[in-house]
Amino acid sequence: MARLYLSPPDLGHREAELIAEAIASNWITTLGPQNDAFERELASVTGVEHGVALASGTAALHLALVVLGIGRGDEVACASFTFAASANAIVYTGATPFFVDADSATWTIDVELLDRALAGRREAGARVRAVLAVDLYGQCCDYGALQDVCDRHGVVLIQDAAESLGSTYCGAPAGGQGALAAFSFNGNKIITTSGGGMLVSANPDWVEHARKLATQAREPVAHYEHVEIGFNYRMSNVLAALGRAQLESLPERVATRRRIRDRYAELLDVPGIDFMAEALYGTTNAWLTCVVVDPDEFGADRETIRLALEAEDIESRPLWKPMHLQPVFAGYEAFGGDVSGGLFERGLALPSGTAMTDEDQDRVVAGMLASRRS
Ligand SMILES: Cc1ncc(COP(=O)(O)O)c(C=O)c1O
């Protein structure tokens, strides 16, 4: 039987068609009609007017911070429960991150704790410039409350929407909640460009500045003139073609991931397995189905389940190890940590790819149930 992956790419003939179009047009570097169209089409899906296609979601986060002028001497609040890329981007700028724990209901940044953390850092004399809030496994943060706190403390809200394309917050597509938002089209995401990302914002100046910075900060003159430090961060026109094809089926992809999650919930309606709850304020794209295991009630702990699945050639993965527990970020301040620490210890992400069949899913469920102590 073939190995079952967590979230592999799901490609069709449309991808091949548009890539062939890109090649036939001879636009194969980081500028071209596919790039322009991908930016326009993503804007129409997310309702965020301006966007620049980039080499990765990490590049998008980095440029979001750079265009805000964040750097050495500044601090940025960051969700602790996230992938390291969120925190890495802060460190790239020379700024200092501090970490804030997750809310136990939504798993996204705890807004009350953030409020106290921002007050605490200000009292300590820190220059806090922004909050990097992360939409987790498809679930949007509580943006209404988050924006209030950011406004009160005079800091900019940056949305790490790497995992939430196709989700909604209060009826609006994910990506328009932060002053700037970063999407990822990494190979395991709901749509992929193999590797890639997009920085979006309602503010055209920020996006145009990011576009310039991403193109080695070249000044608009015939020769190569530079007045600021740039990056080579643009997306290839060939990969933008892949993204356009994938984006066309985003609604079906979201529906499939949600159906997979709901079917897991039906089949695993057993003591000791809890599913990530969907916040009342939005809908999630259910990027990865996540469960939390109570070993006493279920009869096996998270790691026993993971290893049992691995023995059946099924990939599953512990939830994000929070940043405050990562050796590389040990020197940075953290507020709270028990919620994300507990989710890391007991949480598991299950295979959730859009191409998986009911039979594949039955294999996962059977493997999980068989891992219990008899
Ligand atoms: C929450 C989060 N932020 C940032 C990233 C970075 O995106 P990329 O891999 O496209 O650089 C990812 C995924 O990889 C992610 O899950």
Segment 11-21, tens digit of pLDDT? 999 999 999 99
Indicate the residue type of 101.
D
pLDDT digits (tens, 9 = 90+) for 268-320: 999 999 999 999 999 999 999 999 999 999 999 999 999 999 999 999 999 99
**Cβ atoms of residues 263 and 59 within 8 Å:** no
The pLDDT of residue 188: 95
Q: Best mutation site among 186, 191, 320 for ligand 1, i.e. most ligand atoms within 8 A of its Cβ?
A: 186
Atom of ligand 1 nearest to the CA of 58: 11
373: pLDDT confidence band, cut at 50, 70 and 90? confident
SS3 (DSSP) at 64: helix
Pick 31 or 53 by higher pLDDT: 53
Confidence at residue 30, expressed as pLDDT on a 0 to 100 scale: 86
The phi-psi region of residue 39 (left if phi > 0; otherwise alpha if psi is between -120 and 50; otherwise beta) is alpha
Structure-block tokens of residue 45: 């899906």
DSSP letters, 204-254, are HHHHHHHHHHHBTTB-SSSS--BSS---B-BPPHHHHHHHHHHHHTHHHHH
Confidence class for position 31, pLDDT limits 50, 70, 90: confident
67 backbone dihedrals φ, ψ, rounded to 5° = -70, -20
For residue 150, report the distance from its CA to the centre of ligand 1, in Å. 23
> DSSP 3-state helix, strand, coil percentages of the chain (rounded to 5)?
40, 20, 40
Contact call for residues 138 and 118 (beta carbons, < 8 A): no
d(CA 242, CA 22): 9
Contacts of 178 (CB under 8 A, 6+ apart): 133, 143, 157, 158, 159, 161
Q: Which helix (H) or strand (E) holds 291?
A: strand 289-293
242: left (phi over 0), alpha (psi -120 to 50) or beta: alpha
Q: What is the pLDDT of residue 271?
A: 97
Q: If we measure between CA atoms, which residue out of 193, 210, 189, 192 comes closest to residue 201?
A: 210
The finding on whether 340 has its CB within 6 A of some atom of ligand 1 is no
Residue 203: CB atoms within 10 Å: 15
- Dist CA 223 CA 130 (whole Å): 36
Mean pLDDT computed over 247-256: 98
Let me know: does 203 contact 323? Beta carbons within 8 Å: no
Question: Quick check: 36 pLDDT over 80?
Answer: yes
Residue 250 alpha carbon to ligand 1 centre in Å:
18
Q: Ligand 1 in contact with 103 (CB < 6 A)?
A: no
Distances (CA, A) of 373 to 275, 294, 364: 21, 13, 17
* Cβ contact 323:84 at 8 Å: yes
pLDDT per position as a tens digit, 141-170: 999 999 999 999 999 999 999 999 999 999
Q: What is the pLDDT of residue 374?
A: 63
Query: Is the CB of 86 inside a 6 Å radius of any atom of ligand 1?
Result: yes
What mean pLDDT, rounded, does the chain reach? 97
| C-beta 316 within 6 A of ligand 1 | no
pLDDT value for 230:
98
In whole angstroms, what is the distance from residue 309 CA to residue 363 CA? 9
The residue among 371, 353, 161, 196 whose CA lies nearest residue 270 is 371
Cα–Cα distance measured from residue 99 to residue 105, given in angstroms and rounded to the nearest whole number: 18
- Which percentage of the chain shows pLDDT scores above 70? 100
Average pLDDT over residues 170-187: 98
Burial class (CB in 10 A: 0-12, 13-18, 19+), 126: middle
Whether 182 contacts 163, CB under 8 Å? no
- With a 6 A CB cut-off, is 163 part of the ligand 1 pocket? yes
| HSE-up (13 A, CA, CB side) for residue 208 | 5
85 lines ligand 1 (CB under 6 A): yes
Indicate which residue's Cα is closest to atom 14 of ligand 1.
186
Residue of 61, 184, 189, 246 to test ligand 1 pocket, by largest number of atoms within 8 Å of CB = 184
**Averaged over 110-115, what is the pLDDT?**
98
Give residue-wise pLDDT tens across range 203-251.
999 999 999 999 999 999 999 999 999 999 999 999 999 999 999 999 9
Q: What DSSP line would sit under 89-107, residue for residue?
A: HHHHTT-EEEEEPBPTTTS
Alpha carbon distance 154, 336 (integer Å): 22
